[in-house]
Amino acid sequence: MTDLRAKIKDKSAHVVVVGIGYVGLPLVAEFARAGFRVTGFDHDAQKCRLVNQGESYIPDVPSSDLAPHVKTGKLKASTDPSVMREADAVIICVPTPLNKTRDPDVRYIVAATDEVAKHQHKDMLVVLESTTYPGTTSEVMVPKLTQTGYKVGSDVFVAFSPERVDPGNKVYQTKNTPKVMGGVTPGCLEVAVALYSHIIDKVVPVSSTETAEMVKLLENTFRAVNIGLVNEVAIMSRKLGIDPFEVIRAAATKPFGFMAFYPGPGLGGHCIPIDPLYLSWKLRALQYQARFIELADTINRAMPEYVVERTSTALNDVSKAMRGSKILVYGMAYKKDVTDMRESPAFSVIHGLLQRGANVSYMDPYVPEVDEEGITMKSVDPNSSYASYDAVVIVTDHAVLDRARLLAESKIVVDTRDALRNVPGDRSRVYGL
């Protein structure tokens, strides 16, 4: 441990980040900025080529955070897993999706750990950042990293630190977002904290990797359950003839005991729609039903169909059928001002509209074209008129959206984000959630 600690302290340690997407690339940039030699490993040759040219493909990481370090030789990317042979620390940032039965799919974690095990050596730190169920680090990774006789806490150091990436957040980014850290042993925790303290303003140690894994799931379950609650409040409020957004904003004036969440067309992104189900799956194996999680998931997954129903209602009010109507969906990204489409509710909304016979187009200045989840389309020019559509459905309220023009030109607007509330004009054609 002394050699590894010394390398971390004087920043001569070589850090390899496995997976250089939304989570991994910001880490690569921070380690390089802190003075470490860092390599991003990824099977995507295009990503590696861009990094080695000093070019970023992640909006939250400007190319200016990469290019100077590429030039000095401190930062590079590779598709060759043998780079791990000379790594002092390996940080795993691979996807953890759900499979077709909505159970955890940890094959990317397993594959990454197998690659590390093939190239590992004594005095290596391995940190998992991919969101997963409690027990993954100790039950899946540790056996693979100790199968050749290495001892955890003295030969190999293993930790879990949940990623807290919020794409598009202008205030909280990698460095100033507190980082939870759990080690398999106290020695593992000590080494991991020593490394991350060079790039993170505040590291928050916890007692175990299982605790750290549970922290991440609690954070996103908290959001998923509360979003499920306000989504149901939206449905109930409309049945009662009440504006749910007005209700929530009024409730939010209470200075204690209330935290505002807002309804929407469905959950999106790589965390909130997926992570709580990791916990639900784990608890099922222990003969326990995570009722809040499963109920929230049911409500949240039904929201795109509710949006389709609201659109049908809006068209019916002007004596138009859904079948044959021209409908524009504004926003393919899962949240405002990002390019990320993972788990975007727009896909389900579009499928629902198509199934009812509508002619559907989409407009998104951040997503010029789509070819996934059974949808192949190109974005309508953001400067084109909304007047030619029978209805416009706002799924993602990008800041660049000209709200006044949309309201003035559109025949009907289904506003799932309450984006037009304060826009002057005729609101009789606006249908909220």
CATH of the domain at 104: 3.40.50.720
The answer on 281 and 157 residing in a single domain is no
The answer on 197 and 287 residing in a single domain is no
pLDDT of res. 167: 86
Instruction: Going residue by residue through the chain, which has 433 residues, state the pLDDT in tens, using 9 for 90 and above.
Output: 468 999 999 999 999 999 999 999 999 999 999 999 999 999 999 999 999 999 999 988 999 999 999 999 999 999 999 999 999 999 999 999 888 778 888 999 999 999 999 999 999 999 999 999 999 999 999 999 999 999 999 999 999 999 998 888 889 999 999 999 999 999 999 999 999 999 999 999 999 999 999 999 999 999 999 999 999 999 999 999 999 999 999 999 999 999 999 999 999 887 888 889 999 999 998 999 999 999 999 999 999 999 999 999 999 999 999 999 999 999 999 999 999 999 999 999 999 999 999 999 999 999 999 999 999 999 999 999 999 999 999 999 999 999 999 999 999 999 999 999 999 999 999 999 9
Please indicate, yes or no, if residue 229 is contained in any of the structural domains.
yes
pLDDT of res. 103: 82
- Residue 224 CA to residue 243 CA, distance in Å, equals 22
The answer on 97 and 191 residing in a single domain is yes
The answer on 259 and 117 residing in a single domain is no
The answer on 264 and 174 residing in a single domain is no
The answer on 381 and 235 residing in a single domain is yes
The answer on 130 and 206 residing in a single domain is yes
Structural domains of the chain, count: 2
- Residue 111 CA to residue 147 CA, distance in Å, equals 15
Q: What is the residue range of 10's domain? A: 2-211
The answer on 226 and 207 residing in a single domain is no
The answer on 393 and 335 residing in a single domain is yes
Q: How open is the CA angle 163-170-33, to the nearest 5 degrees?
A: 65
326-330/391-394 β-pairing: parallel
Active site residues: 271
User: Residues with Cβ < 8 Å from 309, sequence gap 6 or more?
Assistant: none
Is residue 430 within 8 Å of 408, Cβ to Cβ?
Answer: no
Is residue 380 within 8 Å of 328, Cβ to Cβ?
Answer: yes
Give the residue from 146, 180, 211 where a domain finishes. 211
pLDDT of res. 1: 46
The answer on 233 and 206 residing in a single domain is no
| Three-state DSSP class for residue 212 | helix
Please indicate, yes or no, if residue 13 is contained in any of the structural domains.
yes
Q: Which of 233, 346, 229, 212 is nearest to 293 (CA)?
A: 229
The answer on 306 and 203 residing in a single domain is no
The answer on 170 and 150 residing in a single domain is yes
Spell 279-291 as b/e; 16+ CB within 10 A means b.
bbbbbeeeeeebe
- For the purposes of burial, counting CB atoms within 10 Å of the CB of 341, is it exposed (0-12), middle (13-18) or buried (19 or more)? buried
Q: Which two tokens stand for residue 261?
A: 């969440």
Please indicate, yes or no, if residue 217 is contained in any of the structural domains.
no
- Residue 337 CA to residue 22 CA, distance in Å, equals 15
Q: Which of 433, 378, 383 is nearest to 406 (CA)?
A: 383
pLDDT of res. 289: 93
